[in-house]
Structure 1
């Protein structure tokens, strides 16, 4: 019988585990401490539980830790990890060191339903969502797990299409009985999933990033089919009604494509669209993927776009491009591994 993972469970869920297995209720906090503070990988190591209770737990549960099956190291220090999830499915996790910061980019799904035309993960189609255990495992099982300062849900998949498991993982990460991280250390990125955004803003204090990529609805729709289901104007209306102060940051992701969305007219339209919002825009250079005609914008055009936004009162920065020598685009490594199989 396949064992149930303890990793990724909330304190309430661990209390249920304790009760149904005859452990005292307070044992749930002890288990949580072993999982998230001491970060053990075997139930046998839970030394403050009786041997009888450890053996009982081991019959039905395991920790749920799995090491990555592959890692690629870039000359700039970036490391891309490949995790096997289930049988022959794979997801990517990226470690990004930058001076005094160490950011981990985690995945939430195998493949993606959103089918953005510029995304290699979308080209894979959708296979399944990850469990909270599979999400948390990415954080604990990378080489520099203990050095992480920030976490971003910007890997494979749409986080808010896997809302229950992502919210469970965020609870583990930010609760005192879990990792006890400040929500300010975590950013969740979405293509604009309205229902997910509502619940996320109600139940979490983590930062929010929204993928925009064009200020014009018809142009956005051509590269992001989600525009039909969740129009960006509706997303912005929702966000304007919410409070974004120093406690929570709102940012918009904008990939620049040469000759498509990188003109100064686009910058002006974007500035008008975001006027009055407490937000910032992250400009991102496109990493080419097979079978896609969209091209990268040169740095001079990116800088002009950034300066235009800043001059129009919208804070904009250019995100440093990392890991270009190790399948930089999200989904490239997992697609290559899948094709080998």
Structure 2
């Protein structure tokens, strides 16, 4: 039995090398890429500008895997959470579509589970179960039912994108290249907890936006919330960012979940202003989405908006992100965890 080569999720360069290895014309790499990503044709028999002989060979030696979602939950506010089978259909990941008046955002996953165990994250409780392939990441975007209305993509779903850097970088190429989905780099944001080597590579090789999960400006406090602080302290992350220029063409933002009585005081505002000095950025403040058996709570709206205004008064750009999909297990990892438990 022939061990078929998976083509979905391959970049143009990879597809070209594959067809050359098979003794086919080099230009077939681009033909296949365009069929896969521009035309969404997943049957070799329908790739009509490829000779019949080559189509038969592809059918016998290659595969195209891009499964549809198996479940969708829809919120009263229009938010939709899609559940996809991955890794031999034994694991599950989530993609969340968030429609708004001026922008429609898709939040996508890059891993099954996560190894970094942030205290506030349901995905981290799953532990690391595997990296997604570029095909499994691209599929969340390309085959989204609302693809024609989509304006923005954020890598803020399950997993740490920079713990799976090769797949994420190849995905970004496919999403933004003319042979691929041809999306603007300005419409894509990758969120990280601060994996410095991969973050540096991302900043050097792409023009997409970057978001850093910070959640506390104080070392010991951040360690309790985010164990990655022991490996990549936030001050080292910030020093790395200062090596790069950020302007209207490329944005860096900081994600800051507010936790009642933990990181929502005026001293946190003062320290944030201090450590972010010299970095052109914005701070996205978020309420905590409750997860089971967690002592963490979100502060009330008065505290949230006081924190925002205090940052603005200190000269920082700050916004409060609206909570969406609260009635459909909106916290990242909730739906996939429930599905995993039901399969046991």
TM-score calculated relative to the size of structure 1: 0.98
**SS at the partner of 1:260?**
coil
- Counterparts of residues 281-300 of structure 1 (less than 5 Å): 281-300=283-302
Which residue does the alignment assign to 1:135?
137
My pick for the range that moved more, 324-333 or 83-92, is 83-92
Is the aligned partner of 1:199 residue 2:201? Answer: yes
Q: Distance between the aligned counterparts of 2:309 and 2:4, measured in 1?
A: 55
Q: 1:79 — aligned with what?
A: 80
- Please name the residue that 2:122 is paired with: 120
Match of 1:90, SS state, is strand
Tell me the equivalent position of 2:173. 171
Q: Which moved more, 1:113-122 or 1:177-186?
A: 177-186
Say which of 332, 335, 343 aligns to 1:333: 335
Question: In structure 2, how many angstroms separate the alpha carbons of the residues matched to 1:6 and 1:98?
Answer: 34
Q: Which moved more, 1:114-123 or 1:179-188?
A: 179-188
SS at match of 2:33: helix
The separation in 2 between residues aligned to 1:5 and 1:74, in whole angstroms, is 35
Shift of 1:17: 2.0
Task: Compute the displacement of 1:173 (Å).
Answer: 1.0
Matched, 1:60 2:61: yes
For the aligned residues, what is the CA RMSD? 1.1
Counterpart check, 1:190 vs 2:192: yes
Separation in structure 2 between the aligned mates of residue 3 and residue 93 of structure 1, nearest angstrom: 28
- Structure 1 segments of 4+ aligned residues over 2 angstroms from their partners: 1-5, 20-23
Following the alignment from structure 2 to structure 1, what is the Cα–Cα distance between the partners of residues 54 and 104?
38
Deviation string 1:113-134 (CA, Å, 9 cap, x unpaired) is 1100100000000011000010
Answer yes or no: is the 8 Å Cα contact 2:142–2:181 preserved in 1. no
Q: Tell me the alpha carbon deviations over residues 67-104 of structure 1, each in whole angstroms, 9 at most, x when there is no partner.
A: 00100001111100000002320000001111131111
CA contact (8 A) 2:108 2:158 kept: yes
Distance 2:287 2:243 in 1: 31
Aligned length: 341
Tell me the residue number matched to 2:28: 27
Residue 59 of structure 1, CA deviation: 1.2
TM-score scaled by length of structure 2 = 0.97
1:144 aligns with 2:146: yes
Other-structure match for 2:303: 301
Mean Cα displacement is larger for which, 136-145 or 331-340? 136-145
Q: Aligned partners of 2:96, 2:211: CA distance in 1, in Å?
A: 18
Within the candidate set 217, 220, 223, 1:221 is matched to: 223
CA distance in 1, matches of 2:5, 2:138: 15
Give the Cα–Cα distance (whole angstroms) in 1 for the partners of residues 191 and 44 of structure 2.
34
- CA apart distance, 1:2: 5.5
Are positions 1:238 and 2:236 aligned together?
A: no
Question: SS in structure 2 opposite 1:310?
Answer: helix
The alpha carbon displacement at 1:245 in A equals 1.4
* Closer, same or farther: CA 222–126 of 1 in aligned 2, 3 Å: same
Residue 255 of structure 1 aligns to a residue whose secondary structure is strand
Which residue of 1 is the match for residue 259 of structure 2? 257
Contact 1:21 1:56 in 2 (8 A): no
Distance in 2 (alpha carbons) for counterparts of 1:177 and 1:227? 39
Match of 1:209 in 2: 211
Give the match's secondary structure for 1:48. Answer: coil
Whole-Å Cα distance in 2 between the matches of residues 31 and 146 of structure 1? Answer: 22
Q: CA deviation at 1:22?
A: 3.0
Shift of 1:42: 1.8
Q: Which moved more, 1:62-71 or 1:186-195?
A: 62-71
